[in-house]
A and B are shown apart, each in its own frame.
Chain A
């Protein structure tokens, strides 16, 4: 066991420490991954309440199955795989169609709702409209495009990691990300034209 501060350990070192029953290592894993996982699942499911449940269940699975993790894969790949599978199971079960429900909008607005007095209100509103339109377009994407684009462009994972998480070949991931982006380009073109017209 090394004596490095826990915050400076890599993810793989942390899970190794947790496999040696170091509870603080698990706390650090939760601290590192709770928000990225939550952001990913919220974007995928569009439901904040169920997203929290799925992220918690992900950590429960990590906690109970810590010995199933082997150093051959990156820890981030493993934990994203668990979260992604749980989210997809939930989606299949509930057949979620509303990507951003009213309740989730309410919660998300808290994150960027504070308008500074020095900020141009029109720009702030425009920014929100833009965000809303992009989120709605993401919602319309088929699941396999959506998860690939979210993992690549929102979570910033590498193509190789995404291929491992989704259990598909690297070429398939690139194709899905590309096709997902192409679909999203339409709404962005519309937004760019709007901005040009006003400018």
Chain B
């Protein structure tokens, strides 16, 4: 065990003034910085030619790359899978995979659908012949399927309505 007096004597430098000695003692009493944990591990990596640590920049670039990748995948999924045009979905927004059903086919008769279109026209409009009607405006309902109507091909959607 070294006493404070012995320690002071060891730190003393012969031939210097008390002011200088005070500086020397103060500098020797400064806290000693020690190597961070993992120093040897990083040194081993460096000696074997690898980067001692992952740089913060590379971490940042990694996360940025992942973010861009996810965003690109989302955009692509909307472009490639245009959900509105997928056969089997109907205007009611029922989503799901078209499934072929066996058994009795439920289909609305064509003449009933026609009647519905005719009654949907405003009563105040003057009577037009079918030719005149076709010339003035296209029949927007012609190609659309009524809600609840099964499309051609005996398909029926199965799934849940998100609303």
Binding site for B on A (CB under 8 A): 30, 34-35, 38-39, 42-43, 48, 51-53, 55-57, 59-60, 63, 107-108, 111-112, 130-131, 134-135, 138, 149-150, 152-154, 156, 178, 181-182, 184-185, 188-189, 192
Contact = CB atoms under 8 A, between A and B. Distances in A.
Interface of B: 16, 19-20, 22-24, 26-28, 30-36, 39-40, 42-43, 46-47, 52
A188 B22 contact: yes
Contacts, number: 91
Given A53-B52, A56-B43, A154 B28 contact: yes
Nearest to A153: B27
A107 to B, nearest CB: 7
6 contacts: A55-B39, A111-B33, A111-B34, A153-B28, A156-B28, A192-B22
Contacts of A30: 40, 43
Nearest to A135: B30
Nearest to B52: A56
B22 A38 contact: no
A111 B35 contact: no
A52 B47 contact: no
B32 A185 contact: no
Given A185-B19, A185-B22, A42 B33 contact: yes
A162 B26 CA distance: 20
Given A30-B40, A59-B43, A63-B47, A188 B28 contact: no
Nearest to B27: A153
A52 B42 CA distance: 10
Contacts of A153: 23-24, 27-28
Nearest to A27: B40
A130 B31 CA distance: 11
Contacts of A156: 28
Nearest to A34: B35
A57 B39 CA distance: 12
A54 to B, nearest CB: 12
Contact of B36 (A48, A149, A150): A48
A59 to B, nearest CB: 6
A196 B154 CA distance: 101
A39 B39 CA distance: 14
Contacts of B28: 153-154, 156
Contacts of A189: 19
A134 B26 contact: yes
B33 A184 contact: no
B30 A154 contact: yes
Contact of B23 (A34, A131, A150, A181): A181
A39 B43 CA distance: 17
Given A34-B39, A38-B39, 7 more contacts: A30-B43, A43-B30, A56-B52, A153-B23, A154-B27, A181-B19, A188-B23
A55 B30 contact: no
Given A131-B30, A154-B27, A52 B39 contact: yes
